[in-house]
Structure 1
Amino acid sequence: MPDQPTPLSAPITRRTALRAGLVAGAALAVTPPASAAASARRSPLLRSGGKSVAIFGGGMAGLSAAHELAERGYDVIVYEPAYLGGKARSMGVPGTASPGRQDLPGEHGFRFFPGCYQHVPDTMSRIPFPGNPNGVLDNLVRVEGTVAGFQGLPPIFAPVELGGLSQLTPEVVQNSIVGALGFIPDLPPHELAFFAKQMLVWFTSSTERRFGQWEYVTWEQIMQAEGKSPAYRKYLVNALTRITVAAKPQTSSARTIGTIGEALVLAASGTVPQFAGGVDRILNRPTNIAWIDPWVDYLRTLGVRFVMGQGLAALRMAGGRIAAARITGTSGTATVTADHYVCAMPVDRAVDLLDDAIIDADPRLGGMRNLVTDWMVGIQYYLRRPTDIPEGHIAALGSPWALTALRQAPMWVGDFPATYGDGSVLECLSVDISDWDTPGILFGRTAKECTAAEIATETWAQLKAWLNTGTDWLRDEDIHSWHLDPGITWSGDSIHNETPLLVNTVGSYDNRPDAHCAIPNLYFGGDHVRHHIDLATMEGANESGRAAANAVLDAADDPSPRAQIFPLVSLPAFAAAKALDADRFRAGLPHLLDG
């Protein structure tokens, strides 16, 4: 692969194309074909017989791996140093409940479930929930629109679904994007048309070009932001990217942003049967009540054991495989042995395990040290009156801290004030802060330079500046209290985040591990592991857990059915254009529409 990103305007050499084809082939092998999987199972180098599995990490990846393995009769123990559910969990705010009520609902950040997710809904449908024929899946409710806020301008309610489409063709995609984003203020029409055309470039790019060229340029480059209007750069390139998952268009792989953008458009179109649930859904209760707790209860019925307060500290190699693991935590230090070891920890913690012996056994794992993390953390405001903001998501487009929010009380089952707190709280506005490195409008400091109280004050000020033009939706006197994710802590003037997430920088795919490595009984799960949706999401973590479980089955030479891995949707209408682009890429030519 090229050592440096391929400039968007640079010609693609034959050498680049050939080398890129190797990576494209590796990328397609994220889910090996049946023949490849069978070959892997026959290889004695990959065998690791036995059915005891130690999973380190009880987040989305760890629970997903445990689920698939336990259903196939494996003896699974999950070791979790803090909380089950990871970044997806919710928690009560201690000391806020009056008699007969629950604590006010807090969380790392609000959960939403794009219609392009396939692995998470499948898992949810297999978790029993009282009264729900489809289990936890029936706790998802459809979101119809988004409130888009602009500083100093009246907010706009925009539908999240395109609607009225019978099929998607290249022309329909381009026109639909123009129509969906036409509400953005001060945006020259020709620049909106250009943005839609560049999206069409992505839709019609071959796999070879996606992995061989777009992986090595930024989203800002593929969208050719330089020289465009402030509105184009601020809203189309920056804001839409920042609110995705803490992604910076100046550094993010164009392939990653294009992948999630394409999936969201397909879900919004209503033309893909797999995405029939709508483009946007949320849970109808706090996450733990609606999902995580029932999941853990179900896994316990399957025999999964959970060891809380203990985390993985080291892995010991012997004879070319993992011989034991050392765990530490509230119960002291202990040694764990198992047939298989699944490291389902966040990447910033997983890299601490990569000692010389492990890197010597699989040098490719050393690339994990080059992966980059960023912050996306939530704060909840508890209000004494409803905000009157239309139900759905809220995006403060162009806000310094890239704020998105969700009104939760109107979309949750039950009587909110009768259920939570002291009875005086009628609304919970849950806000995600996706940019911790840009100065705010009130204190002129980044979120990382603020105290907890200053973060709360600054976030509220930005929300008001972006949503209160012509409205009185947000009033200071309505604030009962607020709750910042407890993963954010301070030591003196130093701020720390316990839950950073992977950001897919240019070329980072090369450094990400697969679920299985060269060490025959060691496996990886987490949003940093290679997966189809290619973004730090619950969906990607869930898929990685399934892939780790499948790798265990392969290593054990187990005939059980593999956990289902869902490929990205690819529409036949684009097949001819992609085939043409593959030929052009192999010949060292640019995309036909790129220019």
Structure 2
Amino acid sequence: MLTGAAAAAVLAGTAVALPNVRVPSANAVPRPGAARGREVAVFGGGMSGLAAAQELIERGFRVTVYEPTYLGGKARSHDVPGTARGGRKALPGEHGFRFFPGCYQHVPETMERIPLPGGGNVKDRHLISVESAIVAFGQSGYAPLAAPASVIGAVQHLPALTTLDNVRNALTTGLKFVIDIPPTELAYFVNRELIIATSCTERRLGQWEKQSWMEFVKAKGKSAAYERYLAGALTRALVAAKSHTASARTIGQIGLALATSATGLIGQYDAGLVLGGIDKILNAPTNHAWIDPWVAYLRRRGVRFVLGEGVAEFSVAQGRIAGARLMSGRTVTADWYVSAIPMDRLKPLLTPALVHADPSLARIRRLQDDWMVGIQYFMSRRSTLPPGHIAAMGTPWALTGLFQAQPWNVDFAATYGDGRVHDCLSIDISDWDTPGILYGKNAKQCTRREIAREVWAQMSRAMNGGGERLLRSEDIVTWSLDPGVTWSPTIANATPLMVNTANSYADRPTAYTKIPNFFVGGDHVRTNIDLATMEGANESGRRVANAILDAADSPAPPAVVHPLWELPLFDPLKQIDRDRYRAGLPHILDV
């Protein structure tokens, strides 16, 4: 129980920012003789490019965004071609459903600054909480169960949560968990997360960054369920990372942020177990609710968008970027150049001249990416489950999902498609390298139709494990896989994302470089959130803007960059660990 000053300290929170991700602050008065150009060329119209454009245009810079394909990047949604009928909108497809956990700060703040016609802003009108979750399991013996995500969620969805089937499933699953994962192993897993919570920053970077999450939680020698669900599936469901390769520091730290925001004890996080907000989504397709209004706002402010054009080469002269050649052959010149393109497209642009000007950029080539792609099933029957995300734990392809009609509060049949579709089950596929249950092949070896059938088989086995047919094949009207996945002739993915493998932090670039007019944004840039997410990309765009403000000697106030927040009651333990780490001693709980 916390009272008085102790409670105030907890609510204040402790800021945790990573080293080497400093935010250059703008000078109050321009230095005489310094370059103060205002023309910015941003290459890439995804999350980081749009965030940088907003921060810069609002501070008096002239910004042009060059985007070869679609604005919004991996956050965009799209219309499924040829599905609109009778005055309705096309069925809503997407790269993957959106998830805004309570520890996100930059993205909601950006949404709050995007005005909408008729009043209000994107955050207030379109970002909503879902106060329940569905937990399912890809192994027989476990039954799916609905669980509240907050006290308000328990109240809102009490009838659905207290049905005989759900109570029976909860008891069945709980008993099997106790049998399969001994209490001592559950306690040990919690202890490992406590180690992260009480580790100093130096140990997190110097020791835990160099281990994989599977090594850190010491899954070897534990029960099969410990490795499958606690060490593996939980990581995949929350952050779409592979526990065998992901950095223990990254996984542990983001897990700590999610747990900390859920407590409601940190005032900087707009979330808590009582009032909810731990799990938020948009109440409409991403482009309709967010990306389109954002682009419209930036256009009104003066941002110029050049679509169908991407950068092909950065020209270097005398240690500076002298120009950028576009794919069309045209050359662009500006005062400041921003690479906000995905990592896989940046790597081919790392020419000897660019790397010679800043040798640290060569380390980007060592970074790895992975696939996380969505598929939507359009259903003739509306789901009766409480609205919330579905974590299909232990499915071979690491599936998570969301029924959209109920949380969107929309009549699907009247709004989308041809009138036959009443709901949409949007599923993210996070593992493309593990054999499935239907064809015995991994996703990269399958055809488009085989992927659709395999995903449905895995999700159905998990969701129907309690005996009730929550998913029925006969309800599928049609489906849509992210068009970024193509077969030409072999399978390819146009939108991979960087993965934080063990010891990869040193290889990731900062937003500023040694090239004085060249800056880097994207989910591969070092940030406080330290995970390849919309939040990380948005934070990187703000860091780019601040670095340009500093380089241009702008008197404008810097863009806000938020640290992660942790409970200050751990601070004394972190100091003890700092002393132990400097003395070469292990963490006091590392037994």
Query: Counterpart in 2 of 1:171?
Result: none
Query: Counterpart in 2 of 1:199?
Result: 193
1:82 aligns with one of 65, 69, 77: 69
Q: Contact 1:502–1:536 (CA<8 Å) still a contact in 2?
A: yes
Amino acid corresponding to residue 476 of structure 1 in structure 2: S
| C-alpha distance in 1 between matches for 2:492 and 2:462 | 28
Q: 1:183 to 1:351 in 2, by over 3 A?
A: farther
Query: Counterpart in 2 of 1:261?
Result: 255
Query: Counterpart in 2 of 1:28?
Result: 19
Amino acid corresponding to residue 207 of structure 2 in structure 1: Q
| Correspondence 1:462 to 2:458 | yes
What residue ranges of structure 2 are gaps of 5+ in the alignment?
Answer: 1-15, 154-172, 272-276
| C-alpha distance in 1 between matches for 2:24 and 2:570 | 23
Q: Contact 2:23–2:547 (CA<8 Å) still a contact in 1?
A: no
| C-alpha distance in 1 between matches for 2:577 and 2:125 | 41
C-alpha deviation, 1:253, in angstroms? 0.5
| Bigger mean CA offset, 354-363 vs 370-379 | 354-363
| C-alpha distance in 2 between matches for 1:131 and 1:464 | 42
Q: Contact 1:98–1:422 (CA<8 Å) still a contact in 2?
A: yes
| C-alpha distance in 2 between matches for 1:118 and 1:132 | 22
**1:493-520 Cα deviation digits (max 9, x unpaired):** x110000000000110000000010000
**1:258-310 Cα deviation digits (max 9, x unpaired):** 11101100111122122224211000000001000000000001100100000
Query: Counterpart in 1 of 2:125?
Result: 138
Query: Counterpart in 2 of 1:72?
Result: 59
Query: Counterpart in 1 of 2:478?
Result: 481
> After TM superposition, which residue ranges in structure 1, 4 or more long, deviate above 4 angstroms?
37-44, 161-164, 181-184
Q: 1:43 to 1:455 in 2, by over 3 A?
A: farther
Q: Contact 2:315–2:323 (CA<8 Å) still a contact in 1?
A: yes
Secondary structure of residue in 2 paired with 1:28: coil
Q: CA RMSD in A?
A: 2.0
**1:328-383 Cα deviation digits (max 9, x unpaired):** 1xxx3211000000000001111111111111111111000000000000000000
C-alpha deviation, 1:161, in angstroms? 4.2
**1:229-283 Cα deviation digits (max 9, x unpaired):** 1111000000011223331111111011011101100111122122224211000
Q: How does 1:542-557 map to 2 (within 5 A)?
A: 542-557=538-553
Amino acid corresponding to residue 87 of structure 2 in structure 1: G
Query: Counterpart in 2 of 1:308?
Result: 307
Q: 1:551 to 1:295 in 2, by over 3 A?
A: same
Q: How does 1:99-114 map to 2 (within 5 A)?
A: 99-114=86-101
Q: Contact 1:61–1:543 (CA<8 Å) still a contact in 2?
A: yes
2:571 aligns with one of 561, 572, 575: 575
Amino acid corresponding to residue 430 of structure 1 in structure 2: S
| C-alpha distance in 2 between matches for 1:433 and 1:480 | 20
| Bigger mean CA offset, 137-146 vs 296-305 | 137-146
| C-alpha distance in 2 between matches for 1:573 and 1:32 | 27
Q: Contact 1:285–1:412 (CA<8 Å) still a contact in 2?
A: yes
Q: 1:259 to 1:38 in 2, by over 3 A?
A: farther
Q: Contact 1:31–1:565 (CA<8 Å) still a contact in 2?
A: no
C-alpha deviation, 1:134, in angstroms? 4.3
Q: Contact 1:381–1:429 (CA<8 Å) still a contact in 2?
A: yes
C-alpha deviation, 1:534, in angstroms? 0.6
Secondary structure of residue in 1 paired with 2:329: strand
Q: 1:543 to 1:41 in 2, by over 3 A?
A: farther
Query: Counterpart in 1 of 2:264?
Result: 270
Amino acid corresponding to residue 133 of structure 2 in structure 1: T
Q: How does 1:236-255 map to 2 (within 5 A)?
A: 236-255=230-249
| Bigger mean CA offset, 204-213 vs 239-248 | 239-248
Query: Counterpart in 2 of 1:299?
Result: 298
Secondary structure of residue in 2 paired with 1:313: strand
| C-alpha distance in 2 between matches for 1:216 and 1:40 | 42
Query: Counterpart in 2 of 1:531?
Result: 527
2:433 aligns with one of 413, 437, 455: 437
Q: 1:306 to 1:340 in 2, by over 3 A?
A: same
Q: Contact 1:136–1:290 (CA<8 Å) still a contact in 2?
A: no
C-alpha deviation, 1:387, in angstroms? 2.9
1:155 aligns with one of 144, 154, 167: 144
C-alpha deviation, 1:195, in angstroms? 0.5
C-alpha deviation, 1:27, in angstroms? 3.9
Amino acid corresponding to residue 111 of structure 1 in structure 2: R
Q: 1:348 to 1:446 in 2, by over 3 A?
A: same
| C-alpha distance in 1 between matches for 2:35 and 2:240 | 38
**1:90-110 Cα deviation digits (max 9, x unpaired):** 001010010210000000000
| Correspondence 1:373 to 2:360 | no
Q: How does 1:123-522 map to 2 (within 5 A)?
A: 123-131=110-118, 133-150=120-137, 151-152=139-140, 153-161=142-150, 185=177, 186-277=180-271, 278-328=277-327, 332-469=328-465, 470-492=467-489, 494-522=490-518
Q: 1:41 to 1:155 in 2, by over 3 A?
A: farther
Secondary structure of residue in 2 paired with 1:373: strand
1:120 aligns with one of 107, 110, 128: 107
C-alpha deviation, 1:138, in angstroms? 3.1
C-alpha deviation, 1:182, in angstroms? 6.5
Matched residue pairs, number? 547
| C-alpha distance in 2 between matches for 1:581 and 1:68 | 38
Q: 1:548 to 1:40 in 2, by over 3 A?
A: farther
Amino acid corresponding to residue 241 of structure 2 in structure 1: A
Amino acid corresponding to residue 266 of structure 1 in structure 2: T
Q: Contact 2:131–2:152 (CA<8 Å) still a contact in 1?
A: no
C-alpha deviation, 1:32, in angstroms? 4.0
Secondary structure of residue in 1 paired with 2:425: strand
| Correspondence 1:558 to 2:554 | yes
Q: TM-score, normalised by structure 2?
A: 0.90
| C-alpha distance in 1 between matches for 2:395 and 2:31 | 55
C-alpha deviation, 1:187, in angstroms? 1.6
| C-alpha distance in 2 between matches for 1:583 and 1:59 | 42
| C-alpha distance in 2 between matches for 1:419 and 1:55 | 36
Secondary structure of residue in 2 paired with 1:266: helix
C-alpha deviation, 1:570, in angstroms? 2.4
Q: TM-score, normalised by structure 1?
A: 0.89
Q: 1:334 to 1:424 in 2, by over 3 A?
A: same
Query: Counterpart in 2 of 1:13?
Result: none
| C-alpha distance in 2 between matches for 1:390 and 1:257 | 28
Query: Counterpart in 2 of 1:10?
Result: none
Q: 1:265 to 1:301 in 2, by over 3 A?
A: same
| C-alpha distance in 2 between matches for 1:590 and 1:40 | 48
C-alpha deviation, 1:48, in angstroms? 4.3
State the identity as a percent.
58
C-alpha deviation, 1:40, in angstroms? 13
Query: Counterpart in 1 of 2:37?
Result: 50
Secondary structure of residue in 2 paired with 1:569: strand
Amino acid corresponding to residue 224 of structure 2 in structure 1: P
Q: Contact 2:77–2:92 (CA<8 Å) still a contact in 1?
A: yes
**1:70-91 Cα deviation digits (max 9, x unpaired):** 0011110000000000000000
| C-alpha distance in 1 between matches for 2:17 and 2:103 | 23
Query: Counterpart in 2 of 1:172?
Result: none
C-alpha deviation, 1:454, in angstroms? 0.2
Secondary structure of residue in 1 paired with 2:193: helix
Q: 1:191 to 1:447 in 2, by over 3 A?
A: same
| C-alpha distance in 2 between matches for 1:548 and 1:346 | 15
Q: Contact 1:322–1:521 (CA<8 Å) still a contact in 2?
A: yes
**1:535-570 Cα deviation digits (max 9, x unpaired):** 110000000000001111111011100000001102
Q: Contact 2:24–2:547 (CA<8 Å) still a contact in 1?
A: no
